[in-house]
């Protein structure tokens, strides 16, 4: 197989960023990589044009004219046949856009699409676990929360939308979620929810609190990393926020294990970069919330792919 046959252009349409890369699927090497913020004020056509320009540049940077194929990951629900976008939670106008067809025409090669959590699950399973377990659940905890289910060594999609762990109810009548319901895992542990809780806490925080000092009183500075830092410095409000969020995640993970009994759960995404703090809360919560016969057998891992799960996994998508 010549190098170009293993080199795939991958395009990741995220809610906050666009990324393009050329991935060599033999070893999971990223040959070129570009990223920029998602132009949420542009219309969809302009967004696609920007992304395809990034794709061309990524190809050029590694001297490739035509990739083996294009693998697209999309940050939102797509149709069951994976040929069209259903919607984006962050940008209007995506309904029915046939991204794979457009990419196939633009780059003169086959193109496949999946949602970002499925792509990330595939990337993690193939390039990070080494053993490729039969059954694995990958949970992406970043701005939003999603999961990809590898069951019997294949992505399991159900009717096309399986894996919406972010919207399982963890605390009935809990906080409002962006999806319109209450008490979803996302409403408790997603990046946006943690930032919301941090901003609320800031309103009541004293000026000598770590939370106030780290963000210099500016609520727009508050994100997960800042909250974790404040918690590390002993800020009791930040600690409580982080604790509630990771407790909710632990309950959701325990429920998924009781239901699917996977060999391993892998956590990735920006929020999961706080591995030490997360483990300190997650491990006891999962043990407490798990059906006792599972307690000794479950396995939880953090991704080692440093946020590249989705781009790497998109390179593996095929019909």
Site residues (vs its own copies, CB under 8 A): 77, 86-87, 135, 147, 149, 151-152, 156-165, 167-172, 179-181, 184, 247, 251, 254-256, 258-263, 288-294, 297
Shortest spacing between CB 206 and its own copies, in angstroms: 30
Nearby residues of 97 by Cβ (< 8 Å), 6 or more positions away? 44, 48, 84, 85
Of the two residues 157 and 308, which places its CB atom closer to its own copies in the complex? 157
Which is nearest to 290 in space by CA: 247, 251, 249, 242? 251
Query: Which tokens in the block code for residue 72?
Result: 């697209």
Shortest spacing between CB 161 and its own copies, in angstroms: 5
Shortest spacing between CB 256 and its own copies, in angstroms: 7
Of the two residues 163 and 269, which places its CB atom closer to its own copies in the complex? 163
What span, in angstroms and rounded, lies between the C-alpha atoms of 10 and 29? 12
Shortest spacing between CB 196 and its own copies, in angstroms: 19
Of the two residues 37 and 293, which places its CB atom closer to its own copies in the complex? 293
For helices 236-260 and 191-204, the axis angle rounded to 10 degrees is 150
Shortest spacing between CB 146 and its own copies, in angstroms: 11
The widest CA-to-CA distance across the chain, in whole angstroms, is: 63
Shortest spacing between CB 187 and its own copies, in angstroms: 12
Of the two residues 216 and 296, which places its CB atom closer to its own copies in the complex? 296
Residue with tokens 């925080």: 205
Of the two residues 40 and 259, which places its CB atom closer to its own copies in the complex? 259
What span, in angstroms and rounded, lies between the C-alpha atoms of 180 and 228? 27
Query: Which tokens in the block code for residue 261?
Result: 């009994």
DSSP state of 169: B
CA 101 to centroid of chain Cα atoms: 24
Of the two residues 63 and 158, which places its CB atom closer to its own copies in the complex? 158
**What are the distances in angstroms from CA 223 to CA 164, 228, 276?**
23, 9, 17
């Amino acid at each position: 197989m010549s190098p170009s046959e293993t080199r795939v252009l991958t395009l990741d349409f995220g809610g906050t960023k666009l990324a393009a890369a050329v991935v060599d699927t033999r070893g999971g090497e990223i040959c070129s990589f570009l990223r920029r913020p998602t132009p949420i004020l542009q219309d969809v056509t302009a967004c696609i044009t920007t992304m395809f320009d990034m794709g061309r540049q990524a190809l050029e940077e590694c001297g490739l004219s035509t990739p083996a194929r294009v693998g697209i990951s999309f940050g939102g629900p797509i149709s069951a046949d994976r040929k069209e976008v259903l919607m984006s939670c962050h940008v209007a106008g995506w309904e029915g856009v046939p991204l794979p067809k457009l990419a196939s025409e633009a780059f003169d090669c086959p193109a496949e699409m999946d949602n970002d959590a499925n792509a990330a699950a595939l990337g993690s399973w193939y390039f990070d676990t080494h053993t490729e377990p039969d059954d694995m659940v990958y949970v992406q905890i970043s701005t939003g929360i999603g999961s990809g289910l590898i069951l019997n060594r294949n992505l399991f999609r159900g009717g096309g939308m399986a894996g919406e762990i972010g919207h399982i109810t963890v605390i009935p009548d809990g906080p409002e979620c962006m999806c319109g319901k209450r008490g979803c895992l996302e409403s408790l542990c997603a990046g946006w929810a943690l930032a919301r809780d941090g901003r609320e806490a800031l309103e009541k925080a004293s000026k000598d609190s770590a939370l106030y000092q780290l963000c210099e009183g500016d609520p727009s500075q508050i994100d997960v990393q800042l909250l974790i830092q404040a918690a590390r410095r002993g800020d009791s409000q930040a600690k409580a926020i982080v604790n509630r969020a990771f407790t909710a995640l632990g309950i959701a993970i325990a429920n998924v294990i009781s239901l699917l009994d996977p060999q391993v759960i892998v956590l990735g995404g920006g929020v999961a970069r706080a591995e030490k703090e997360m483990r300190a809360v997650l491990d006891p919560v999962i043990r407490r919330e798990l059906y006792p016969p599972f307690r000794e057998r479950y396995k939880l891992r953090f991704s080692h792919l440093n946020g590249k799960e989705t781009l790497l996994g998109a390179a593996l998508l095929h019909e």
